[in-house]
Structure 1
Amino acid sequence: MPLISFTDKGLYCEQGNFYIDPWQPVDKAVITHAHSDHARGGSRAYLCHRDSLPLLKLRLGPYNYQLVEWNEKVILNEVIVSLHPAGHIIGSSQVRVEYKGEVWVVSGDYKTEADGLSGIFEAIPCNTFITESTFGLPIYNWKPQQAIYHDIQNWVRSNELANKTSVLIGYSLGKAQRLLKAVEEVPGNIYVHGAIWNVHETLLQAGFKLPAVQRITPDTPKEAFKGSVVIAPPSAEGSLWMRRFASYSVGICSGWMQVRGNQRRRNADAGFALSDHADWNGLLQAVKATGAEKVYITHGFQSVFSRYLNEIGIDASEVKTEYGTEDEETQSAN
């Protein structure tokens, strides 16, 4: 019997009687991070990293949460479970599962470059590694974060000189916090969409240090946006909500912007390949560093990545799951 099986409810450890990031309600859920494709409501009990708690409460509401620190061991029916940094977003963790000397690791979503917010990815030796491959194509090769930050800062400065509002599009949880760090070095006000404001306030109350922002409301005067930075989620892109900024430029911040055609298709003025996922080299480095004899690939470019791993002598298989869409919450745009 495999230590973790792939079921219609999610990744299941029968020996420990728990699920990892289940997509249906279960008795015991171990959660890698607070994005909506990995954390869903309705389960009786949740195990998560301490930093994920405020985000899970914001998105799921009050539940029975058991909190752990990274590397802290928990025994579930003789199965040893521990969480380890994934570097994806604040609180994101990999799940290490050990039973009778056999070790499996579920990566969740991860990136291997430290971003200064999300913890530093830790490669965990294991027998079997279950990994994502969101950007599992050789074309996806990220520039260093600081270089991308400089590109964003220079773009904002050029818009300021033209008396334009710089509108940066990025997910409210994960990407938005990194964008705040990118633009805090550029003088001027930072305004945020309501969805980003909610996450921002939650993190501030939890003790995280983030740059000061102002929430956009119907009462915010239009002239206040000129030369300023606005950070908004993808749901705002191309919406009526954007009209209040008058003369503005849109910069989309996503790993998909590595392909120039995507910027044109989304009618953006600029594209910045800033991703919260590992690129091709990061994925390969992570897989090799685990020393795993078997690798399962849950979402992304599964066929390409698994084929390449098999070609270089690593036994890899594709697994169909419901992971992969970091859905934005449909909150008020005010």
Structure 2
Amino acid sequence: MPTPLIQFTDRGLYCPPGKFHIDPWKPVDKAVITHAHSDHARPGSNSYLSHTYSKPLLELRLGPGIYETIGWNEPVWINGVKLSLHPAGHVIGSSQVRLEYEGEVWVFSGDYKTENDGISGAFEPVKCDVFITESTFGLPIYNWKPQEEIFRNIQDWIMQNHSQGKTSVLMAYSLGKAQRLLPCVEATGLPIFLHGAVYNVHQALVAAGHKLPAIQRVQQDMPKDIFKGNVVIAPGSADGTPWMKRFSPYSVGVCSGWMQVRGNLRRRNADAGFALSDHADWNGLLHTIKATEAKKVFVTHGFQSAFSRYLNEIGIEAAEVKTEYGQEETAEEVEEKREEG
């Protein structure tokens, strides 16, 4: 049996002929990074290769280091392995990793979504022999409404709060969801304030040349009235903390795919929930896998057991793989607290 082009090891995904890892969860010599979320990009490796857009985010989160970058569809050769990055549509800079060696092609999806959000790059399915896919929302219940419809719902909620003199506090990841929300909120014409962790990501992207709407950082000495009726974007880690008191009276809206299940809104004790996700839904996952024409599919984090079983039932050879990905919420909270500090 030939050696697999990607092996699943205790350090992460490893390409033996290329002698590099993809999104390793332990320090390695050379790490190829799909995107800058903390469960996929971890500190300590000797060098990193990512999409150009990810570099400022990796520098923000991992600190100084050796960062090589390439654009989408710009192949490089590493020890005879042809490597290229392709849009994943998850967050700014997020990429799928395509590997080609001795006539065989493997693709690791990283995290991805199939709807073009207008900011993260339009997802492109990549034909391959073996496809490694996430399955964060790999159950039929997860079926997203179009972004345009969700944005209208958010805007209506914001304007209703505004008419009642309430501050609208939107809970969203500091990297990805927060930037995606900015054009939606900007359309209301109301001032936008950012939590420190969100602001730091915002500034890193602006400094790198990304055009994002005008915002203000929430400052300790700001008068309370400045927030009244306006909009604050903050990470979930800020909810329920003393930091929130300055916005009273306020209404909390959680932006997450988990809001598709009504009970999760009650558990979060929020006023509104918007099922806005940066991951593919059930249909997006299935359409993508079929579009790759892969002969074999490995399913990683999420509902990998149920999803891989379904793929086998419909005639697509699949197996589940245990990884340390998928702890996005916990990892992001750690980063958000560090970035705010």
TM-score, normalised to structure 2, is: 0.97
The residue type equivalent to 1:325 in the other structure is Q
Instruction: Kindly indicate whether the alpha-carbon contact (under 8 Å) linking 1:131 and 1:297 is maintained by their aligned counterparts in 2.
Output: yes
Report the Cα offset of residue 332 of structure 1.
6.5
Equivalent residue number for residue 323 of structure 1: 325
Aligned mates of 1:66, 1:254 — CA distance in 2: 32
Aligned mates of 2:180, 2:324 — CA distance in 1: 26
CA displacement, residues 203-241 of structure 1 (integer Å, 9 cap, x when unaligned): 111111111111011101111111000000011011111
CA displacement, residues 93-135 of structure 1 (integer Å, 9 cap, x when unaligned): 0000110000000000000000011111110000000000000
Instruction: Kindly indicate whether the alpha-carbon contact (under 8 Å) linking 1:157 and 1:186 is maintained by their aligned counterparts in 2.
Output: yes
Equivalent residue number for residue 232 of structure 2: 230
Report the Cα offset of residue 331 of structure 1.
3.2
The residue type equivalent to 1:177 in the other structure is Q
Q: Which of residues 99, 119, 125 in structure 1 aligns to 2:127?
A: 125
TM-score, normalised to structure 1, is: 0.99
Instruction: Kindly indicate whether the alpha-carbon contact (under 8 Å) linking 2:200 and 2:340 is maintained by their aligned counterparts in 1.
Output: no
Q: Is residue 2:211 matched to residue 1:204?
A: no
Q: Which of residues 303, 317, 325 in structure 2 aligns to 1:301?
A: 303
Aligned mates of 2:61, 2:81 — CA distance in 1: 29
Structure 1 residue ranges without an equivalent (≥5): none
Equivalent residue number for residue 293 of structure 2: 291
Superposed CA RMSD in Å reads: 0.9
Q: Is residue 2:159 matched to residue 1:157?
A: yes
Report the Cα offset of residue 246 of structure 1.
1.2
Equivalent residue number for residue 88 of structure 2: 86
- Structure-to-structure mapping, 1:1-334, within 5 angstroms: 1-326=3-328, 327-328=331-332, 329=335, 330-331=337-338
| Residues 1:123 and 1:14: Cα distance change in structure 2 (over 3 Å) | same
Instruction: Kindly indicate whether the alpha-carbon contact (under 8 Å) linking 2:87 and 2:96 is maintained by their aligned counterparts in 1.
Output: yes
Residues paired across the two proteins, number: 334
The residue type equivalent to 2:307 in the other structure is F
- Identity level (%): 69
Runs of 4+ in 1 over 3 A off after TM superposition: 331-334
Instruction: Kindly indicate whether the alpha-carbon contact (under 8 Å) linking 1:241 and 1:333 is maintained by their aligned counterparts in 2.
Output: no
Report the Cα offset of residue 333 of structure 1.
5.2
Q: Give secondary structure in 2 for the equivalent of 1:129.
A: strand
The residue type equivalent to 1:159 in the other structure is N
